[in-house]
Amino acid sequence: MKLSIIGTGYVGLVTGTCFAEVGHHVICVDNDAAKVKMLQAGGIPIYEPGLEELVKKHVASGHLKFTNSTAEGVEKSDVIFIAVPTPPQPDGSVDLSYIERVARDIAAAMTSYKIVVDKSTVPVKTGEKVTETIKRYCPAKVEFDVVSNPEFLREGFAVGDLMKPDRVVIGVGSQRPVAAMKEIYTPFNAPIIVTDINSAELIKHAANSFLALKISYINAIANVCEAAGANVQEVAQGIGLDERIGRRFLNAGIGFGGSCFPKDLSAFIKIAEQIGYDFKLLKEVQHINADQMDRFVKKITDTLWVLRDKKIGVLGLAFKQNTDDVRSSPAIDLCQRLLKDGATLRVHDPKGMEKAKAILPNVTYVEDMNDVAEGCDALVVATEWDEFKQLDLARAKKGLTHPILFDGRNLFNPAEMEKLGWIYKSVGR
Ligand code: UGA
């Protein structure tokens, strides 16, 4: 099918590329000229495993094109996906001005029936506004359908999540766009759920909030475990084997971050409030997440006492493993708190260092994780990168003034660490 994607951020770029991979003809539109140039040459602006190869492959095959012109995208495709940012505003609601702008641009360029699909994460009832906007700003007065088709990809696993989705959600206001939407997704062999537009929009917020709730739940359990002398990983295993609960997203730590969960929680709470429901449960999820970081910082200060002039090695800057994304990263938040208390930091992240430099200028960036501990008073694990499990512990111990490790992601085994002579503090164990 002929598709265009407006916005080549995380969602737009991965979606467009995977659509090309299953044989669709895709035009990706972005107003950033430098980015378009880079993509046309087969380069990509983000780190995402497997993506660069696919972009190169389909730029070469001709299935994937990049342009600055929304009009070109609209004219040459039957289905137009909106994948622009929906950033948070100070009151927790979402800034929908990019969506509105793109809806107007699409409307202005439409000269025949089009399906306009919203892929960006938006509050419920946005589809109604997009429909109204297109109607109002389309001089050709052609027919169109608006569809809500939320994305569920995780950064770091985005290509895999897109190629093998658990489900595809298609929210429609009429039956007319259903066949085309199904045709787009048939190659992905996933269950397709057709709903009304409001329900589709709600599914996205409800899914992310539930996952965030799961994390806050296990973090709360971790706190009880600490008080009771139990082990949260054993508890997670014990409850997670119940299929109704599931083990995934039950990893306790310093809390969730990233550009999705914190923003989507706030947005969901806000839209619920606007339509008359006080979502207290989700407010508590936010509180637990904030407390989790406070408790971890307290663990560090309880052990190291005064942080002023202490040197601390930090492993991890990205908001989670397999990504270079440091937006709303708990690891960065932690670094900023340690710096505020007067510590100096030596930091390492397998992929996130370049992007961290803009927000954390006054720290020492260390290329090799095994050099981070050198001359430090303690080591901290802040991101769950698998490779940190391969840290040369003997060498780190030699480099530190004292063998102290604060593990905010529970990567090491407490009994083994103790046996090796470490003062080892993790979460909920
Ligand atoms: C999340 C959802 O998982 C995706 O399904 C969704 O499509 C995406 O948001 C989105 O709305 O675009 P993402 O933000 O990429 O994906 O990352 P996650 O893998 O969900 O992790 C989010 C945060 O939770 C990270 O900071 C991670 O360290 C933390 N986390 C995750 C935990 O603390 N414990 C866990 O058990 C799992």
Least confident interval from 39-48, 167-176, 200-209, 361-370: 39-48
What is the per-residue burial (b if ≥16 Cβ within 10 Å, else e) of 25-49?
bbbbbbbeeebbebbeeeebebbbe
Residue 47 has pLDDT above 90, yes or no: no
Q: Is 251 in the pocket of ligand 1 (CB under 6 A)?
A: yes
The per-residue pLDDT for range 393-404, each reduced to its tens digit, is 999 999 999 999
Residue nearest to atom 9 of ligand 1 (CA): 260
* Distance (Å) of CA 155 to CA 105, 110, 324, 374, 375: 28, 33, 9, 31, 34
| DSSP secondary structure letter of residue 195 | E
Distance 261 CA to ligand 1 centre (A): 7
Q: Is the pTM of this model over 0.75?
A: yes
CA distance 358 to 6: 27
To the query of whether residue 260 is one of the catalytic residues in this protein, the response is yes
Q: Where are the domains of the chain?
A: 2-190, 197-429
Among 339, 383, 341, CA closest to 362: 339
Return the residue whose CA atom lies nearest to atom 7 of ligand 1: 152
Q: CB of 121 closer than 6 A to ligand 1?
A: yes
Domains 2-190 and 197-429 share a fold: yes
CA of 154 relative to ligand 1 center, distance in Å: 6
Instruction: Tell me which fold the domain 197-429 belongs to.
Output: Rossmann fold (3.40.50)
Mutate which of 201, 232, 249 for ligand 1 pocket (most atoms within 8 A of beta carbon) = 249
- Closest Cα to residue 47, out of 354, 255, 260? 354
Ligand 1 atom at minimal distance to the Cα of residue 248: 36
Residue 342 token pair: 């007067």
Q: Is 320 in the pocket of ligand 1 (CB under 6 A)?
A: yes
Q: Which of 18, 28, 260, 335 is catalytic?
A: 260
Asked whether the beta carbons of 181 and 149 are under 8 A apart, the reply is yes
Q: What is the reported pLDDT for 43?
A: 87
CATH topology for 2-190 is Rossmann fold (3.40.50)
**213, pLDDT greater than 90:** yes
User: Which is the closest atom of ligand 1 to the Cα of 151?
Assistant: 7
